[in-house]
């Protein structure tokens, strides 16, 4: 019976400690968690887990560990708040993934970001084609911020009294020098057609293509770039 009572007390104290610290960290930190925030919360959770599974971890030690960890978090938060230069070191810096409509392969590789992941992040911003993007910035919290090219701004066709046209989903046919055969088949095109399209753009080798995207309305969009 004493064991159940001890575990209950340790869980309640640990829960209260976690609740207090997460509340003090602020809603912004929880909603837009950086890698540092994520690690901080995981470690706090480990302290509570230790209270349950490690018989040597007594309640006073758990409370002491939570307090010290909380103090360290507040010290880091204070430093990043007061000194701008420390933010890039502790919280990482935003990365320019697309600039002036050009994909930065080096930044993608540096941030362990592939084209499929980037496509998904753009779709979450209601951007379904790379050609629409003027700037894309990968934020420290792992999300992407997007500025569209002026010609793709969200102006409604009814505002300009223009006829409404149907739209199709763009398909990536070359990603990082590799032909996506499944996507080619879906759009009813062949590799021979793709080679001719590239030759028309003075591109002789598919491996020199960083990205090629087909859209029924706008045709083929191609960006070259040497692989690292």
pLDDT in tens, the chain (228 residues): 566 676 677 667 666 766 666 666 554 444 455 666 666 667 766 766 665 566 666 667 767 777 777 777 777 777 767 776 666 666 667 889 999 889 998 888 888 888 888 999 999 888 988 989 999 999 877 789 998 888 877 665 555 555 555 557 788 999 888 899 999 998 999 999 999 999 999 998 888 898 999 988 788 999 887 555
Does residue 148 belong to any structural domain of this protein? yes
What range does the domain containing 81 cover? 2-89
Quote the pLDDT of residue 213.
92
In residues, how long is the chain?
Answer: 228
List the strands of the sheet with 209-215, edge to edge.
Answer: 178-179, 171-175, 209-215, 219-224
Residue 134 lies inside a defined structural domain of this protein: yes
For residue 219, being part of any structural domain is answered with: yes
pLDDT value for 200: 92
Domain assignment present for 215 = yes
Q: Is residue 163 part of a domain?
A: no
Q: Are residues 145 and 177 in the same domain?
A: no
In a domain, 25, yes or no: yes
CATH number of residue 126's parent domain = 3.30.240.20
| Among 78, 90, 76, 74, residue whose Cα is nearest residue 21 | 74
Is the same domain home to 7 and 80? yes
What is the total count of domains within the chain?
3
Q: Are residues 177 and 196 in the same domain?
A: yes
Domain limit, last residue, from 112, 128, 152: 152
Question: Where is the domain boundary, 89, 116, 135?
Answer: 89
In this structure, the answer to whether residues 84 and 101 fall within a common structural domain is no
Residue 175 pairs with which residues in a beta bridge?
Answer: 178, 211
- In which order are the strands placed within the sheet that holds 144-148? 102-103, 95-99, 133-138, 144-148
């Amino acid at each position: 019976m004493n064991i159940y009572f001890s575990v209950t007390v340790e869980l309640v104290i640990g829960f209260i400690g976690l609740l207090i610290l997460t509340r003090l960290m602020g809603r912004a930190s929880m909603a837009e968690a950086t890698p540092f925030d994520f690690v901080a919360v995981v470690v706090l959770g480990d302290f509570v887990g230790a209270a349950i599974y490690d018989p040597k971890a007594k309640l006073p030690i758990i409370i002491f560990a939570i307090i010290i960890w909380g103090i360290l978090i507040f010290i880091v938060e204070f430093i990043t708040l007061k000194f701008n230069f420390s933010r890039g070191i502790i919280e990482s810096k935003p990365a320019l993934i697309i600039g002036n409509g050009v994909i930065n392969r080096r930044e993608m590789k540096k941030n362990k970001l592939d084209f499929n992941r980037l496509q998904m992040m753009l779709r979450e911003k209601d951007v379904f084609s790379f050609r629409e993007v003027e700037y894309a910035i990968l934020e420290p919290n792992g999300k992407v911020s997007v500025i569209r090219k002026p010609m793709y701004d969200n102006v409604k066709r009814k505002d300009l009294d223009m006829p409404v046209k149907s739209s199709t989903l763009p398909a990536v046919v070359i990603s990082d020098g590799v032909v996506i055969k499944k996507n080619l088949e879906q759009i009813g095109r062949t590799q021979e057609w793709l080679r001719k399209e590239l030759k028309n753009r003075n591109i002789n080798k598919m491996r020199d293509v960083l990205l090629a995207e087909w859209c029924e309305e706008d045709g083929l969009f191609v960006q070259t770039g040497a692989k690292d």
